[in-house]
Structure 1
């Protein structure tokens, strides 16, 4: 019997029969809610054939201990927590579930933009505390939105921005004029996007080239009333530099759903009123969770079914 370890917290939350279905397919299912420590992962993975993983940090040491492992199915899009090249050198296939959370993350991006711009979170908290005090915010409608990274999620954000009559500037290393015309956007260099935008939304993957992409030098070029939102990956924005920028009042505010260390229990950003911080929650819609559950499971089943087909042929 093949053995599968499943760690994402929300896996199967809205697909109640999914574990039973895996068992009917001949899998012994080990369900443990992550993210798991390296030590705990090693203790569980040694005789596992397949792994469906969320935000758990997989290390080369973990891969070395997974003697039976044949496929890693990422529950989500980003695979920066998986040593993909190392795993594949060990003969382990790595898959992900692209596009499943595009709409959820795009919705959430706008939610953060609006919350920071209009002080929604702080106003709601005041009412709960018995305070009837108002905050003066800024409007989103008609402003300039800078999108850093114009993949599927960036494009979904652009579609929403059009409903707000926003002018859209885009920085992306890959530029396509047909796409620019389709989404009515203007490509620009990174510094121009940062300096001209009223709102900045980050949607690039975390790779060596994008780590600390937004540092103090670059963010200091933002408008004084600008707001920056990151629903991509922690580490793209240098959080110490962002804290300094916000503390000095160089920009209006920030909305972060991702952090370089999660949870950010020791982050100085926690003390700032002009930072709205949420717990890596952007992809957590019912619809996205259903799609991630089904697609990550399908990737595992497809792998083993293809192996069966190869054996038969």
Structure 2
């Protein structure tokens, strides 16, 4: 009987029948709600055959203890929390669930744009916490220029939503999909041009050495003073210290972040600013996305071991 460790917090939340599937297929399932400390995860996977993992850090230290682990099935898209290189050296396959949260994250990114542009969150807190009943003047998104950093599945989904707001969309992507851009009326440009011309900049790039701190003080300094920065990608793509300094100096209009360099960001200086919206890595958390992530991460494991049995 193969042993599977499952750690994502929301796994099976909206389709609990998945545990019956595991039982019927003859798997032993150990369910632990993550993210787990490295020591605990290392102990758990010592004799596991597969790991279904969310945001837990699967480091070399953790993988070193894995005696018979054959597969890591990422519950989600980004695999930057997994030491894939070391996993491959140990003969451990790493797979993810592409496309499962595209619409959820695109919705959320657009929601952050609207909330930030119209100061919706601030107005709510002013009324509830301070008893203020006053007009808060914001910006319209309709007809503005949206800059996308990353034009993959999520970036292009945001572009589709922007069409309904008659926004002029420009994008930076190292590997541009010109066919899709033409279909959606999107123009490609270099990074500096996108930053200089956009009223809103939305991040949709993976975290890798080339994108770490891609947005730092130099890049922030060329943006329009009213520009809004949205990050639902990965925290490390934006230098948060530089962002704080730029917003404190009034160099950009505001920022909405769902991801951070360190999570949770317990002592971030961004907390002291009024022109920010900060949320807890929540963009992919829709009922539909959770259902898709649950089933696809499960199917990845079942398919992998079924294939092995046939070889």
Same fold, TM exceeding 0.5? yes
Residue 98 of structure 1 corresponds to 98
Deviations 1:156-205 (A, max 9, x none): 00000000000001000112332221110110000000010000000000
- Conserved 8 A contact 2:6-2:53: yes
Length-normalised TM-score, structure 1? 0.98
Unpaired segments of 5 or more residues in structure 2? none
Report the more deviating stretch, 187-196 or 168-177.
168-177
2:145 — aligned with what?
144
CA distance in 2, matches of 1:105, 1:175: 20
The 5 A counterparts of 1:61-210 are 61-129=61-129, 130-210=131-211
Q: Is the deviation greater in 41-50 or in 223-232?
A: 41-50
Q: How does 1:1-313 map to 2 (within 5 A)?
A: 1-129=1-129, 130-310=131-311
Using the size of structure 2 for normalisation, the TM-score is: 0.98
What is the alpha-carbon distance in structure 2 between the residues aligned to residue 243 and residue 22 of structure 1? 47
C-alpha deviation, 1:282, in angstroms: 0.1
Shift of 1:20: 2.2
Q: When the two structures are aligned, how many residues end up with a matched partner?
A: 310
Q: CA deviation at 1:101?
A: 0.4
Q: Distance in 1 between matches of 2:88 and 2:26?
A: 25
Q: CA deviation at 1:24?
A: 1.7
Residue 125 of structure 1 and its aligned partner are, at CA, apart by: 1.6
1:62 positional shift: 0.7
Q: Take 1:157 and 1:262, find their aligned partners in 2: how far apart are those partners?
A: 25
Gaps of 5+ in 1: none
SS in structure 2 of the partner of residue 241 of structure 1: helix
Runs of 4 or more, structure 1, over 4 Å off, are none
What whole-Å deviation, never above 9, does each CA across 1:244-284 have from its counterpart, x for those lacking one? 01111111100000001001001101111111000000000
